[in-house]
Amino acid sequence: MKGNAAVGHCLEMSTGDMRTVVRLLTAVERTERQERTLARVRTECERTDARFREQGIDLDVSISRALDELIDGTPSTDPCPAYSYAFYQAVAAHFSDPTDLGAWRRPSWFRAMDDELARHGVPSDLLPGTFLFRGPPLRLPHPGDVVPAIGTLPAGRATALADAYARVLDRLDPEFRGPARRLADALRAEAREGGSARTAGTNPATLLFWFH
Amino acid 203: pLDDT: 60
User: What letter represents residue 134's amino acid?
Assistant: R
The one-digit pLDDT tens for each residue of the chain (212 residues) are 443 344 589 999 999 999 999 999 999 899 999 999 999 999 999 999 999 999 999 999 999 999 999 999 998 889 999 999 999 999 999 999 999 999 988 888 999 999 999 999 999 999 999 999 999 988 899 998 878 999 999 999 999 999 999 999 999 999 999 999 999 999 999 888 765 555 445 565 899 999 99
Amino acid 199: pLDDT: 46
Residues forming a β-bridge with 9: 104
Amino acid 175: pLDDT: 94
Q: Which parts of the chain fold into alpha helices (H)?
A: 18-26, 32-54, 63-72, 82-92, 109-119, 128-131, 158-168, 174-199
CB-based contact 108:146 (threshold 8 Å):
yes
Determine the Cα–Cα distance for residues 151 and 208; give it in Å rounded to an integer: 6
Least Cα distance to 82 among 72, 69, 98 occurs for 69
Amino acid 204: pLDDT: 57
Determine the Cα–Cα distance for residues 29 and 64; give it in Å rounded to an integer: 20
